[in-house]
């Protein structure tokens, strides 16, 4: 994208170069469109759950911008020679069940015969132009809440190795099929300064995006990082996705780990997440109130994981 010139337009409020979750275009003084697109390869064996996960993952960017999704289009790549169309039917039913839950209307879609299975959605939502939640509008002293446990990349790898326990798989699927809608609706009752969701770049990658263009750093309390079951053991056995190492190679130099930090935290901050939680930045008092509101609503893994400060040298400190 770097070399592609895009005409400037004052109605384009958020675009790809902003490294935010979705694009935003103002269509009137009170309405801006949010547009996003995401698709993934299968992350679990059950096609219906795969469809649900892909849909939650695609919708998440709209919630992370502080918006409300309205419509969606299916994006499908399907190997018709390898799998029966019943599988595709189940994937689409899974996606539709999530759209119904989110009160989003499917308007159509497009499919191609593909060597690898892919499913996702293009989603359109709305937000008031003055209420866009950008990812890097953090303020000094802000406290950071993460709403879901980390470790989906490691568990997905363990499923491929047949090393994930049933209870871990259930927790993993439950986490990824939980819409960020619920956390976002609660978040919008508070004066949130910035928000994003944790996806492929892992926690550390998305923290760097929150810090982009600011002079602040983030200090993370590793003891407060919520983890999916079994991830510590699996990572120690080398059940680690390639994406985790790629994230580490790409952003590792921006991070300072305390010398006594457990190995799992040195891994988990780079683990690529699918349908990960929201990262919400707001002042400390509001953060405690938001956290208890999230817990009361059953978002049990929500946790205050750190705070934004002026610190020299590195951008991210894991303590």
Partner 1 sequence: MSDKIDARGLSCPQPVVLTQKAIKDGKSNFEILVDTEVSRENVLRCLEKNNFNAAVSEDGDIFIIKASKK
Which positions touch partner 1 (CB under 8 A)? 157-158, 160-163, 235-242, 245
Nearer to partner 1, 34 or 239 (CB): 239
Smallest separation (angstroms) from partner 1 to the CB of 162: 8
Report the C-alpha gap between 11 and 231 in whole angstroms. Answer: 44
Smallest separation (angstroms) from partner 1 to the CB of 146: 26
Smallest separation (angstroms) from partner 1 to the CB of 263: 9
Smallest separation (angstroms) from partner 1 to the CB of 241: 6
Report the C-alpha gap between 91 and 52 in whole angstroms. Answer: 8
Nearer to partner 1, 264 or 287 (CB): 264
Nearer to partner 1, 13 or 235 (CB): 235
Nearer to partner 1, 239 or 291 (CB): 239
Smallest separation (angstroms) from partner 1 to the CB of 200: 16
- Other C-beta atoms closer than 10 Å to the C-beta of 42 total 20
- Residue identified by tokens 């509101």 is 293
Closest by CA to 83, choosing from 58, 55, 118, 39, is 118
Nearer to partner 1, 83 or 237 (CB): 237
Smallest separation (angstroms) from partner 1 to the CB of 163: 8
Smallest separation (angstroms) from partner 1 to the CB of 264: 12
Sheet order of strands, 23-26 included: 12-14, 23-26, 32-40, 118-127, 68-78, 105-113
Nearer to partner 1, 189 or 236 (CB): 236
Nearer to partner 1, 124 or 247 (CB): 247
Long-range contacts of 99-106 (CB under 8 A, 24+ apart): 99/55, 99/59, 99/72, 101/179, 101/181, 102/55, 102/59, 102/69, 102/179, 102/181, 104/59, 104/69, 104/70, 104/71, 104/72, 105/70, 105/71, 105/72, 106/71, 106/72, 106/73, 106/74
The answer to whether residues 123 and 81 touch, using CB atoms and an 8 Å cutoff, is no
């Amino acid at each position: 994208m770097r070399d592609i010139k895009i005409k400037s337009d004052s109605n384009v409020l958020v675009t790809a170069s902003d490294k935010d979750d979705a694009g935003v275009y103002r269509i009137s003084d009170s309405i801006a469109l949010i547009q996003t697109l995401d698709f993934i390869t299968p992350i679990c064996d059950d096609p219906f759950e795969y469809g649900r996960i892909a849909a939650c993952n695609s919708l998440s960017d709209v919630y992370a911008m502080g918006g409300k999704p309205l419509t969606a289009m299916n994006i499908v790549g399907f190997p018709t020679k390898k799998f029966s169309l019943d599988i595709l039917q189940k994937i689409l039913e899974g996606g539709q069940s999530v759209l119904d839950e989110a009160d989003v209307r499917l308007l159509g879609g497009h499919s191609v015969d593909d060597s690898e299975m892919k499913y996702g959605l293009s989603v359109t939502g709305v937000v008031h132009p003055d209420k866009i939640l950008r990812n890097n509008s953090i303020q000094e002293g802000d406290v950071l809440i993460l709403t879901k446990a980390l470790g989906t990349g490691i568990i997905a790898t363990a499923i491929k190795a047949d090393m994930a326990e049933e209870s871990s798989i259930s927790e993993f699927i439950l986490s990824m099929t939980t819409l960020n809608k619920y956390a976002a609706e609660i978040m919008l009752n508070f004066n949130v300064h910035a928000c994003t969701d944790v996806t492929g770049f892992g926690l550390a990658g998305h923290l760097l995006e929150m810090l982009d263009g600011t002079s602040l750093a983030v200090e993370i309390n590793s003891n407060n990082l919520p983890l999916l079951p079994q991830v510590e053991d699996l990572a120690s056995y080398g059940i680690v996705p390639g994406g985790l190492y790629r994230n580490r190679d790409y952003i590792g130099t921006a991070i300072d780990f305390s010398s006594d930090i457990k190995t799992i935290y040195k891994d988990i901050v780079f683990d690529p997440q699918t349908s990960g939680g929201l990262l919400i930045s707001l002042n400390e008092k509001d953060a405690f109130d938001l956290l208890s509101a999230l817990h009361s609503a059953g978002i049990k893994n929500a946790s205050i994981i750190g705070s934004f400060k002026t610190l020299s040298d590195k951008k991210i400190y894991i303590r």
